[in-house]
Amino acid sequence: MKGLLVRIGVDQAYGGWNAPVDAEGNFVYVPIPEKLGTAFHPGLERRFGEVLPALNRFCQEHECHLSDDLSFPDELLHGAMHLDPDFECLTYGDEGGRRGAGMVSMGDGDLLVFYGSLRPVHDCEHRLIYALMGIYVVKEVVPVGSVPSERWYENAHVRKAKLGETDIIVRAKAKVSGRFDRCIPIGEWRDHSYRVRKDVLDAWGGLSVKDGFIQRSAVPPALSKPQQFMYWLRKQGVQLIQRNN
């Protein structure tokens, strides 16, 4: 079994914002923006307006204002979003020649574990909460060029009119894959960056990166012992949801 830790979601580098999370781990999944000028197949562009209902529900539940309290950047609403992973369709796309190179050879039963940086709306010792947001148990990995037009809607990498030459699509198994009903905090500020907490690193059996560094990486870190990670995950008691929010 192989397992990769994949960073997802809007953040300061991609979108200039962090989606909210509360003390119970309730969060909103907000994808990164698409690059300006990206062209799409007719009718397949996805917009940030789709996440507004979930964000507004979160704000109502926590008696806060999306713009005044959470500083949501309205300019996001004027552009397209890169909805990837798509937890409703259980797909994830990446560049097979670069960042996603470790996914190209993945097969049945391998793992993609998704995490991101969220901004807490409650009192917290950290400015950001790095947390797991979902998991895929891999069914298959296919090149984007092999995806038929009737399935283009399933992932951001094939909704585009121009396909990446080395791009791949990971399809996940239903029932054992999806978005978590609540996120699982795993990070802390240590040695001048955000890293996986030492107790979590020990429970997982380690990562391929030095001292659990997860703040930013060109290549997704690999789980040293994926089976041990799955044993830990089962004890967290999260439920899987096959939808984005």
Structure confidence by residue, pLDDT tens digits, 152-184:
999 999 999 999 999 999 999 999 999 999 999
- Indicate if the pLDDT at residue 126 is higher than 90: no
> What's the pLDDT at 218?
81
- Output the DSSP codes for the chain: --EEEEE-S-BTTTBS---EE-TT--B---PEEPPTT--BSTT---BGGGGHHHHHHHHHHTT--TTTTT---GGGGGSBEE--SBTTTTEEEEETTTTTHHHHT--TT-EEEEEEEEEESS--SSSSEEEEEEEEEEEEEEEGGGS-GGGGGG-HHHHBSS--TTEEEEEE-SSS-EEEEEEEE-EEEETTEEEE-HHHHHHHT-BSSGGGB-S--SSPPBBS-HHHHHHHHHTT---EESS--
What confidence score (pLDDT) does residue 110 get? 98
The pLDDT value given to residue 96:
94
pLDDT in tens, 40-90: 999 999 999 999 999 999 999 999 999 999 999 999 999 999 999 999 999
Q: Is the pLDDT of residue 193 over 90?
A: yes
pLDDT at 216: 81
- Residue 158 and residue 168 in contact, taking contact as beta carbons nearer than 8 Å: no
pLDDT in tens, 132-153: 999 999 999 999 999 999 999 9
Q: How high does pLDDT run on average in the chain?
A: 96
Q: How far apart, in whole angstroms, are the C-alpha atoms of residue 88 and residue 103?
A: 20
Percent of the chain with pLDDT over 90: 95
pTM score above 0.95: yes
pLDDT grade for 125, boundaries at 50, 70 and 90? confident
Q: Quick check: 217 pLDDT over 90? A: no
**Rounded Cα distance, 229 and 226, in Å:** 5
Q: Are the C-beta atoms of 207 and 195 separated by less than 8 Å?
A: no
- Model confidence pLDDT, tens digit, residues 75-85: 999 999 999 99
